[in-house]
Amino acid sequence: MATKLPSPPRVGMVSLGCPKALVDSERILTKLRANGYDMSPDYAGADVVLVNTCGFLDSAKEESLEAIGEAIAENGKVVVTGCMGKEADVIRARFPEVLAITGPQQYEEVVGAVLEAAPPVANPYVDLVPEAGLKLTPRHYSYLKISEGCNHRCSFCIIPSIRGDLASRRPDAILREAEKLVAAGTKELLVISQDTSAYGVDIRHQPREWKGHEVRAHMTDLARELGMLKTPEGETPWVRLHYVYPYPHVDQVIPLMAEGLVLPYLDIPFQHASPKVLKSMKRPANEAKVLERIRNWRSICPDMAIRSSFVVGFPGEMDEDFEYLLSWLEEAQLDRVGAFRFEPVEGAAANALPDHVPDEVKEERYQRVMDLTARISAEKLAAKVGKTIDVLIDRVDEVAPADEGPDRGHFDAPHPEHHHDVGATGRSKADAPEIDGEVHLRDAAGLKPGDFVKVLVEESDEHDLFGVAV
């Protein structure tokens, strides 16, 4: 008679916040799986629920508290971790029944709390952990965290008080993780940290041996090595750099983009353009001649896409500061832009600054930035119509083609041989998942997530492209 294996305890996970928190969640789940736990997709099937919180903005904190409350109401056994774990007293005051609270990156403490709340069942017959660990993203792309913390003290930010100063990982450990991810099916590596440009500063760019040669703990060296990895099919995975401050040595990465080792994409959090506002923000590298450098970058790598984020309504931002920002954006012609209305965060130095901007002025400035950048985006995307671009497929759906797109034209008519067309959605080299645009394909039968395809662009709107695989 066959032995019936005992059912392992099941853990539910609610992951809030940024991609860095998502990586923390993946590591926690991987450690729990190694301890014999299964994952539950819902509250009802979970023996304990983990809530990975965000504590960056007051609105994010409130969202975290709501998620904790929902998990308690639906399940009852809840462990809290993440950035808001630094405010355990606030959480306890509202939810005294929470089993345990830990701060960000405290993986062992989280696992210990789960072990106590729902002890694992010994099971020597099953290997529970895949080589690349557990993932909350699709199989074909993965976030690769290269460091924790930040050495800057921007006046609007409390991340250093939550996550501490810069702590870089060893380059060989990062490359080993990346190699495993690519071997397991990852087609795109998204490099993340609080400050990717500063990677290795804290460990004096100490080199480590990798594949018979030394690799420095430096953004340029790491990017070059990542760009030399190969998938099991012999393809070169995409390497996308996020959270890059425009330090001088960023110039060294641009030739790697021109060579095809790194995606021609930079995510640079400029936050503003007015020198006065940048000084109040205590932003690093605010004296750099950024516009001139952007022109130089594009002369080396014409296809480069730059995304950034900006804060409007920062304390002391005058009309002339905002007009300066609009003029700067018009000249910079950034490909992707996100904007945020300034929001006071408990513990941030900016709260004490004078001349706070009224909410209605913030809203008006926000709308003007979004209108301007949407026009620039639409113009840039329209210039791609008629061209063939590389696309990584994210999902494939059988949908009525008329459901998507702008003036769909020929997309509206179903194929004469069947009632539904096969549509697919992917991203170009200029599009990071979740935050940028998408490429929508018609006649996509035979494609699957993770495929690299050439796409003829047929239409565009303010944010997305529409076309067909060639």
The binding site for [4Fe-4S] cluster comprises 18, 54, 83, 150, 154, 157
Q: How many residues does the chain have?
A: 470
Contacts of 206 (CB under 8 A, 6+ apart): 200, 216, 217
Nearest one of 409, 441, 403 to 423, comparing CA atoms? 441
d(C-alpha 421, C-alpha 415), whole Å: 6
223: left (phi over 0), alpha (psi -120 to 50) or beta: alpha
Sheet holding 10-15, edge to edge: 38-40, 10-15, 48-53, 78-82, 100-101
Task: Give me the phi and psi of 396, to 5 degrees please.
Answer: -125, 130
Which candidate, 219, 252, 30, places its Cα nearest to that of 128?
30
Q: Evaluate whether 215 touches 198 at the Cβ level (below 8 Å).
A: no
Q: Give the residue carrying structure tokens 């971790």.
A: 81
CB 195 within 8 A of CB 160: no
Six-digit token string for 24: 């923390």
Nearest 5°: phi and psi at 105?
A: 65, 10
Pairing of strands 388-399, 421-428: antiparallel
Token pair recorded at residue 436? 């940028």
For residue 102 the two structure tokens come to 């830990």
**How far is the CA of 261 from the CAs of 140, 201, 325, 338, in angstroms?**
18, 23, 33, 27
What's the rounded Cα separation, in Å, for the pair 173 and 170? 5
Nearest of 91, 29, 85, 77 to residue 49 by alpha carbon = 77
H or E stretch covering 224? helix 219-226
- Residue numbers in the known binding site are 18, 54, 83, 150, 154, 157
Across 17-104, where does the E strand assignment appear?
38-40, 48-53, 78-82, 100-101
- In 3D space, the residue among 65, 85, 81, 84 whose CA is nearest the CA of residue 73 turns out to be 65
